Homo-oligomer: A and B are copies of this chain.
Amino acid sequence: MRDVAIVGCGMTRFGRREEDLLGLLTEASLAALDDAGRGQGPVDALLVANMGSGILNHQTGVASALTDRLSLLPAPAESIENGPASGASAIKNAFLAIASGLYDVILVAGGEKMRAVTGWEATDFVASMSHPQGEYPYGITLPALAGMFARLHMAKYGVTSEHLAMVALKNHEHGALNPFAHIQQAVSMEGILHRPEAVVNNPPIAEPLRMFDCCPVSDGAAAVLLCAAEKAAEFPRPPIRIAGFGQATDTHAVHQRQDPLDLKAVRLASQAAFKMAGLKPGDIDVAELHDAFTILEIVESEQAGFFPVGRGHRALEKGQTRLNGKLPINPSGGLKARGHPVGATGVAQIVELVWQLRGQAGERQVDGAVNGFSCNFGGFGNNVLAFVLSGE
């Protein structure tokens, strides 16, 4: 199996965008190709990560359209769908295709045009990944699942609404330093939780989760250019190696898990990624976790092995996961502030890690970061991928 490195990356600003899906994917792809010093040079194959082009945009065959738009014909191309973990799934398939020896250079572009629909339609679209018999028909949405999960976790481990808000505060603070983030504004605990008007500005979504516990609905795209490590020297940027990855599935319906608090797929995927990389959680300098809901960042930081189970909120309150802490989590702002165009997210996490490991992250740079970790969470933890990247 050949080693694989990332030699180019780029993304669009996330948020409310005028461009259609193809326009967003094109913008991110051209940025990644430019970053790799390739302009529109030869690429052996493309993979597009997207969850909802059918439901949101009434469009299929997006990978063929992008290949044409980028003047990369006749390169092979297809789309990968794995709910909000589509991005990481596409990178995994590209990794394996290069590792096989058949292709040397593959472009992965992940994107979503979510604001093609509005309000309840966006929530309903996201709920299309819930169990088609056991969850969806009963009206369970992803915020509802996350709310019930948060309530259970709070009861068991002493996590409070203030802890949840601390995740939002931290990630909005980081996001304010990220020119690609959907929301580039810091918030205060007073403003979102304690002032009388907080009940209006930060209303309950699914108790105990309030609006600032949930990621926004964003448009956007991100792209990376992967290359066989043995050929990475042909590119100008220092290659960032994909040292390891892991993936695991769990029961589709959350209520079928023996312990609904046990996000087993996060644990298994993380363990597999560390094993392949030959590294431990303690070797990681920066992590991008999937904080679609604030509670998830806390729990993933535990299941990935960074903190003991039930202690993630303690590390958070001590500031260990802030930009200058022991293990900065979501320096990009995370899904909470950077935004969550679902098909783009897994790729955007890798883009942020590459920038961090190259030392290109500007005001949000984690000093001397060498190894990075990402967790991309599909369904409500039913399909999770983890990556370990290394700049060494």
A residues lining the B interface (CB < 8 Å): 1, 20, 22, 51-55, 57-61, 63-65, 67-69, 72-83, 85-86, 89, 92-93, 96-97, 99-103, 128-129, 131-132, 247-253, 264-265, 268, 378-379, 382-383, 385
Question: A252 contacts which of B68, B74, B96, B247 (Cβ < 8 Å)?
Answer: B68
Contact of A80 among B78, B101, B102, B383 (CB under 8 A): B78
Instruction: Given A55-B60, A101-B99, decide whether A73 and B128 contact each other with a Cβ distance below 8 A.
Output: no
Contacts of A75 in B (CB 8 A): 249
Q: What is the CA–CA distance of A89 and B73 in the complex, to the nearest angstrom?
A: 17
Determine if A80 and B79 form an interchain contact, defined as CB atoms under 8 angstroms apart.
yes
Q: In the complex the two chains form, is A73's CB within 8 Å of B379's CB?
A: no
Complex Cα spacing A58 to B51, Å: 12
Query: How far does the Cβ of A67 sit from chain B's closest Cβ, in whole Å?
Result: 5
How close is A47's CB to chain B, nearest CB, in angstroms? Answer: 9
Given contacts A68-B251, A79-B80, 17 further A-B contacts (CB under 8 A): A1-B102, A52-B60, A57-B132, A61-B81, A61-B83, A61-B382, A64-B252, A64-B382, A64-B383, A65-B252, A76-B247, A76-B383, A77-B249, A78-B93, A80-B81, A81-B81, A96-B100
By Cβ-Cβ distance, the 3 closest A-B pairs, closest first, are A54-B54, A61-B129, A76-B247
Please measure, in the bound complex, the distance between the C-alpha atom of A250 and the C-alpha atom of B264, giving whole angstroms: 43
**Contact indicator A73/B132 (Cβ below 8 Å):** no
Chain B contacts for A93, CB-based, 8 A: 78, 93, 96-97
User: What B residues does A80 contact at CB under 8 A?
Assistant: 78-81
CA distance A68 to B253 in the complex (A): 9
Question: A132 with B65: in contact, given A78-B86, A93-B78, A268-B74 (CB under 8 Å)?
Answer: yes
Which residues of the other chain, B, contact A63 by a CB distance below 8 angstroms? Answer: 81-82, 383
Instruction: Return A137 CB to nearest CB of chain B, in Å.
Output: 11
State how many angstroms separate the Cβ of A108 from the closest Cβ of chain B.
13
Instruction: Name, among A129, A132, A251, the residue most crowded by chain B CB atoms within 10 Å (CB to CB).
Output: A132
User: Which of B64, B72, B103 is A82 in contact with, Cβ under 8 Å?
Assistant: B64
Smallest Cβ-Cβ distance to A82: which chain B residue: B78
Q: Is the CB of A83 within 8 A of B101?
A: no
| Bound-state Cα–Cα, A80 to B73, Å | 20
On whether the beta carbons of A249 and B67 are closer than 8 Å, the reply is: yes
The answer to whether B129 and A60 touch across the interface, beta carbons within 8 angstroms, is: yes
The answer to whether B379 and A61 touch across the interface, beta carbons within 8 angstroms, is yes
CB distance from A275 to the nearest CB of B (A): 12
A269 to chain B, nearest CB (A): 9
Per the bound structure, the CA–CA distance linking A73 and B83 in Å amounts to: 17
Cα-based distance from A265 to B85 in the complex (angstroms): 31
- Provide the residues of chain B in CB contact with A55, threshold 8 Å: 54-55, 58, 60
> Which of A64, A73, A128 has the most B CB atoms < 10 Å from its CB?
A64
Tell me the complex Cα distance, A132–B79, Å: 16
Which residue from chain B places its CB closest to the CB of A51 in the assembled complex?
B60
Contact present for A100 and B1 (CB under 8 Å): yes
CB nearest neighbor in B for A383: B64
Query: Measured between C-beta atoms, what is the minimum distance from A81 to chain B in Å?
Result: 4
A68 lies within 8 A of B128 (CB):
no
CA distance A75 to B246 in the complex (A): 10
With known contacts A101-B1, A249-B74, A378–B61 Cβ distance under 8 A: yes
